[in-house]
């Protein structure tokens, strides 16, 4: 059986990483896999042994109207790449709601179209409605990354499944071999995209408020993008800022806590891959109080749920974990226990069951 997997923007963020894990699992179970994604950029989908990779054109633009035009052009190109190639026996796997060209081609050819939905914070609203209308039109099945997302974006006419993201086995193995020896908690880590709504400025302000801790921010961004963003922002001495890192293990090993400071007024986290990666290093977490990410961190058990816009409350939560060794150790143990719900073997097994049913 052939799976044609489509993704829009290939980079080192969460959604292409999840698709990469799935593809490796499918290949291990003797599926023939083809991957269609934008060219000209390195990412998790760039080189997957055994998968056939095809590129199509897409370009980012800061202007939202131009960005939509570029998206439409790219999806028409993808549609015509696939429409005469797809067979009825194929599975068209659409990763995120954006590669709708593949979904339309699959629907037209009578193939099974499966959407893997990672997002809900699409703007403007008319664009979001259009994307989800296409899901409703084309999909035979819809996979959500969390219960929250399934409840937030229900498509009642389509078969629905929940598939939590998972930690790769090789990541777990490397993490188990690189655990840091016990010491007093002092290192604070956040990994995110370079967007205001991801809480980048809140992280820097938190560092300013807590000069007795060390802060490290890992951004999915280039050096130029980083320089432009921070040119008028004061970075305190206790805050390091890194651009895109292909290997996050040294940073997780360095850390004592992992943060996600996404602003609820700008972005709702539907999952939180960096949080479960942090769990592999026994890291407690501070996360937003809304979204699918709350299914990963139970308040006051393996971390805290705090709105990052509430600066004092956020700082107090950080201190409550970092300044009390007993609390940190208890939350660290709870994080390790929670991780067992997100194993790769269970993830792949569930995916295969969805594909075959």
Q: Which pLDDT score is estimated for 181?
A: 74
The string of pLDDT tens digits covering residues 193-220 is 999 999 999 999 999 999 999 999 999 9
Residues 6+ apart with CB under 8 A from 320: 304, 327
Q: Which pLDDT score is estimated for 321?
A: 98
**Dihedral sign of CA atoms 177, 259, 194, 227 in order:** negative
> What is the residue-averaged pLDDT of the chain?
96
Q: Which pLDDT score is estimated for 113?
A: 99
Of 7-16, 128-137, 186-195, minimum mean pLDDT range = 7-16
The string of pLDDT tens digits covering residues 209-255 is 999 999 999 999 999 999 999 999 999 999 999 999 999 999 999 99
What whole-number distance in Å separates Cα of residue 38 and Cα of residue 79? Answer: 13
Q: Which pLDDT score is estimated for 185?
A: 94
Place of tokens 């439409």: 72
Place of tokens 């990469």: 20
Is this structure's pTM higher than 0.95? Answer: no
Q: Which pLDDT score is estimated for 164?
A: 95
The string of pLDDT tens digits covering residues 80-121 is 999 999 999 999 999 999 999 999 999 999 999 999 999 888
Q: Which two tokens stand for residue 209?
A: 């408020």
Residues in the chain: 357
- Model confidence at 152, pLDDT cuts 50, 70, 90, reads very high
> Which domains are present in the chain?
2-163 (3.40.50.2000), 169-341 (3.40.50.2000)
The string of pLDDT tens digits covering residues 253-302 is 999 999 999 999 999 999 999 999 999 999 999 999 999 999 999 999 99
Q: Which two tokens stand for residue 290?
A: 């809304």
> What's the helix, strand, coil split of the chain in %, to 5?
45, 20, 40
Q: Which pLDDT score is estimated for 39?
A: 85
The string of pLDDT tens digits covering residues 298-349 is 999 999 999 999 999 999 999 999 999 999 999 999 999 999 999 999 999 9
The closest alpha carbon to 115, from 125, 124, 130, 102, belongs to 102
Q: Which pLDDT score is estimated for 123?
A: 87
Buried b / exposed e along 309-346 (16+ C-beta atoms within 10 A): eeeeebbebbeebbeeeeebebbbebbeebbeebbbee
The string of pLDDT tens digits covering residues 21-65 is 999 999 999 999 999 999 888 899 999 999 999 999 999 898 989
């Amino acid at each position: 059986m052939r799976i044609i997997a489509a993704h829009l923007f290939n980079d080192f963020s969460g959604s292409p990483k999840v698709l990469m894990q799935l593809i490796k699992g499918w290949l291990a179970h003797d599926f023939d896999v083809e991957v269609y994604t934008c060219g000209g950029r390195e990412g998790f989908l760039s080189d997957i042994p055994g998968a056939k990779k095809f590129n199509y054109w897409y370009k980012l633009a800061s202007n939202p109207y131009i960005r939509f035009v570029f998206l439409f052009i790219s999806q028409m190109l993808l549609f015509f790449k696939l429409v005469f190639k797809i067979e009825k026996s194929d599975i068209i796997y659409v990763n995120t709601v954006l590669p709708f060209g593949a979904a339309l081609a699959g629907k037209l050819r009578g193939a099974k179209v499966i959407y893997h939905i990672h997002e809900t914070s699409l703007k403007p609203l008319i664009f979001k409605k259009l994307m989800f209308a296409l899901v409703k039109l084309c999909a035979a099945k819809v996979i959500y990354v969390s219960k929250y997302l399934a409840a937030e974006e229900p498509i009642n006419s389509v078969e629905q499944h929940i598939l939590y993201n998972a930690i790769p086995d090789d990541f777990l193995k490397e993490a188990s071999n690189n655990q840091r020896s016990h010491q007093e908690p002092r290192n604070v880590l956040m990994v995110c995209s370079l967007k205001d709504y991801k809480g980048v400025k809140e992280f820097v302000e938190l560092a300013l408020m807590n000069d007795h801790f060390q802060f490290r921010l890992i951004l999915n961004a280039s050096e130029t993008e980083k320089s432009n963003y921070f040119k008028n922002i004061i970075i305190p001495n206790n805050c390091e800022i890194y651009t895109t890192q292909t290997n996050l293990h040294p940073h997780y090993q360095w850390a004592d806590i992992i943060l996600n400071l996404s602003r609820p007024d700008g972005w709702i986290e539907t999952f939180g891959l960096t949080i479960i990666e942090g769990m592999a290093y026994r890291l407690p977490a501070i996360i937003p109080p809304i979204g699918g990410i709350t299914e990963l961190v139970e308040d006051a058990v393996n971390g805290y749920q705090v709105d990052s816009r509430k600066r004092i409350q956020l700082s107090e939560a950080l201190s409550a974990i970092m300044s009390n060794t007993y609390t940190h150790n208890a939350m660290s143990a709870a994080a390790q226990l929670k991780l067992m719900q997100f194993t790769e073997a269970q993830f792949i097994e569930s995916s295969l069951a969805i594909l075959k049913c």
